[in-house]
């Protein structure tokens, strides 16, 4: 038996790396005062077709669709936003007095695409969605989250690229201009772009096949078609990013791969040579019509998604690793008779906040100290007949090699003081 193509197992050092990053994300979200949400891994097929958009590659080529036993059309979630929006509507979170509603999620997504370095069919995303504010200050805050996470993790050369797709009026004018521009060249483009020309010409600018053609490079840009309101939104976003000391550049080629974006769209890149042209670590933007499209009240929204696999690859290329939290205590009994007391002490220590492991295989005294060398705990607790009888534990500081006998009633206090030193 082997794992499915496009998936991978997590264990050992990789597991520790991922757990550390997850802790950083959770702590960062607490600082930003965002609340955690979790949605089902599979949902109605219609949710993603309506939410992500019928002209996107995700829906047309990459979704895992299936019928359940009742014949309902279901889809493994290919991205996180549509599910969070559905939850926002279904649970009537728009009725809260404290808008905006600021949420974050983390979990597996599924897309049937060609596996390659840093890209899998099952992959993990961390994402943020905010509902109920059209203020560009929220857009800037959203952009600051991945930037600060990447900085905290030690990545250098982080670049923010921003663009505006404008409001509905601006987008309509721009789509019309694109159709007029591309009309003489349609037959020179790929089959997908011929379909996009009819459905959503904006998506043509995101084509991976034709993007190097002069036709694409010379296409009209959205910023020339922004109305006054959209221009103001984009200007204020840039002012806020400058105030936050987040360097950025305006890139008019960014349209993102989903149909629901309005106003702000952005990508965050890492300047890593080994990445080649695939430098984007995360991206997102504003989607002011999506809640209404999925059956909710008219509500502004903005968010982003970050791929764990791309981040792990970036950290590997930059040789960034994280120091593992050291083990506090290693316990072993000198004979079978003391194992019950070892079990009691291990539970006592864990419930008081110490990390603990022990000898489970009745190793010899020498073999236990070989294990100590491998695990490198801060303290070794040796339990023999005398320790059980007198309730005085032999503790060896594995770093200073100091050895003492401590009464059980003073054990927690002693370890707390020693670790602080």
Residue 383 within a domain: yes
Residue 5 within a domain: no
Please report, rounded to a whole number, the percentage of residues in the chain having pLDDT higher than 90: 68
Structural domain span for residue 159:
12-167+227-317
Residue 386 within a domain: yes
Residue 276: give its domain's CATH number: 3.30.930.10
User: pLDDT higher for 206 or 20?
Assistant: 20
pLDDT, tens only, 282-319:
999 999 989 998 999 999 999 999 999 999 999 998 89
Out of 267, 286, 317, pick the residue that ends a domain: 317
Co-location of 373 and 303 in the same domain: no
Whether pLDDT at 203 is above 80: no
Contact criterion met (CB below 8 Å) for 133 and 162: no
What total of structural domains would you count in the chain? 2
pLDDT score at 348: 95
Element (H, E) at 414: helix 411-420
Residue 36 within a domain: yes
pLDDT, tens only, 309-319:
999 999 998 89
At residue 391, the 3 state secondary structure works out as coil
Instruction: For the chain, give the mean pLDDT.
Output: 89
pLDDT score at 275: 72
pLDDT score at 177: 84
Co-location of 367 and 312 in the same domain: no
Co-location of 22 and 111 in the same domain: yes
pLDDT score at 55: 52
Co-location of 249 and 119 in the same domain: yes
Residue 207 within a domain: no
Residue 302: beta bridge partners? 130, 286
Out of 290, 317, 344, pick the residue that ends a domain: 317
Q: Quickly state the pLDDT bin for 390 (edges 50, 70, 90).
A: very high
E-strand stretches of 154-243: 158-164
Whether pLDDT at 131 is above 90: yes
Co-location of 313 and 348 in the same domain: no
pTM of the model: 0.86
Contact criterion met (CB below 8 Å) for 283 and 160: no
Whether pLDDT at 8 is above 70: yes
Number of DSSP helices (H) and strands (E) in the chain, helices first = 15, 16
Co-location of 242 and 139 in the same domain: yes
pLDDT score at 153: 95
Token pair recorded at residue 29: 């979200």
Token pair recorded at residue 275: 């990445």
Token pair recorded at residue 46: 């219609």
Residue 189 within a domain: no
Work out the average pLDDT over 382-388: 94
Co-location of 59 and 145 in the same domain: yes
Co-location of 113 and 236 in the same domain: yes
Residue 336: give its domain's CATH number: 3.40.50.800
pLDDT score at 102: 97
pLDDT score at 256: 62
Compute CA distances 231 → 150, 167, 203, whole Å: 29, 10, 22
Out of 296, 317, 338, pick the residue that ends a domain: 317
pLDDT score at 259: 62
Residue 47 within a domain: yes
Co-location of 334 and 400 in the same domain: yes
User: pLDDT higher for 399 or 218?
Assistant: 399
Co-location of 103 and 67 in the same domain: yes
Co-location of 162 and 73 in the same domain: yes
Whether pLDDT at 257 is above 70: no
Residue 194 within a domain: no
Contact criterion met (CB below 8 Å) for 326 and 320: no
pLDDT score at 25: 97
Residue 396: beta bridge partners? 380, 403
Co-location of 392 and 247 in the same domain: no
């Amino acid at each position: 038996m082997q794992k499915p193509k496009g998936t991978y197992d997590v264990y050992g050092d990789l597991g520790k790396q991922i757990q550390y990053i997850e802790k950083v994300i959770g702590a960062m979200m607490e600082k930003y005062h965002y609340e955690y949400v979790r949605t089902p891994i599979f949902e109605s097929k219609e949710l993603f077709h309506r939410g992500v958009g019928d002209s996107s590659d995700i829906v047309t080529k990459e979704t895992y669709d299936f019928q359940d036993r009742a014949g309902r059309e279901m889809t493994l979630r290919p991205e996180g936003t549509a599910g969070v929006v559905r939850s926002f509507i279904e649970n009537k979170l728009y009725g809260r007095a404290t808008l905006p509603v600021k949420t974050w999620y983390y979990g597996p997504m599924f897309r049937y695409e060609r596996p390659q370095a840093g890209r899998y069919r099952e992959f993990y995303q961390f994402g943020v969605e905010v509902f109920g504010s059209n203020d560009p200050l929220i857009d800037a805050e959203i952009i600051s989250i991945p930037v600060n996470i990447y900085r905290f993790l030690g990545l250098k050369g982080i670049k923010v690229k921003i663009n505006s797709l404008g409001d509905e009026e601006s987008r309509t004018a721009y789509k019309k201009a694109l159709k007029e521009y591309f009309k003489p060249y349609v037959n020179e483009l790929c089959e997908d772009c011929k379909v996009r020309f009819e459905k959503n010409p904006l998506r043509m600018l995101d084509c991976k096949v034709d993007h190097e053609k002069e036709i694409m490079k010379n296409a009209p840009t959205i910023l020339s078609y922004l109305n006054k309101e959209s221009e103001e939104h984009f200007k204020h976003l840039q002012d806020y990013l400058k105030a936050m000391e987040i360097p950025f550049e305006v890139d008019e080629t960014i349209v993102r791969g989903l149909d629901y974006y309005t106003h702000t769209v952005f990508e965050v890149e890492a300047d890593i040579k080994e990445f080649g042209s695939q430098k984007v670590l995360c991206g997102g933007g504003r989607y002011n019509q999506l809640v209404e499209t999925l059956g909710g009240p008219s509500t502004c929204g903005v968010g982003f998604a970050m791929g764990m696999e791309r981040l792990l690859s970036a950290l590997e290329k930059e040789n960034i690793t994280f120091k593992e939290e050291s083990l506090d205590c290693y316990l072993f009994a000198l004979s079978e008779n003391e194992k019950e007391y070892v079990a009691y002490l291990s539970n006592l220590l864990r419930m008081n906040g110490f990390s603990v492991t022990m000898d489970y295989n009745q190793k010899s005294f020498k073999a236990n100290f070989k294990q100590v060398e491998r695990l490198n705990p801060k303290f070794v607790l040796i339990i023999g007949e005398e320790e059980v009888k007198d309730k005085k534990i032999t503790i060896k500081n594995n770093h200073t090699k100091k050895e003492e006998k401590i009464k059980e009633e003073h054990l927690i206090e002693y370890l707390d003081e020693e670790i602080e030193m």
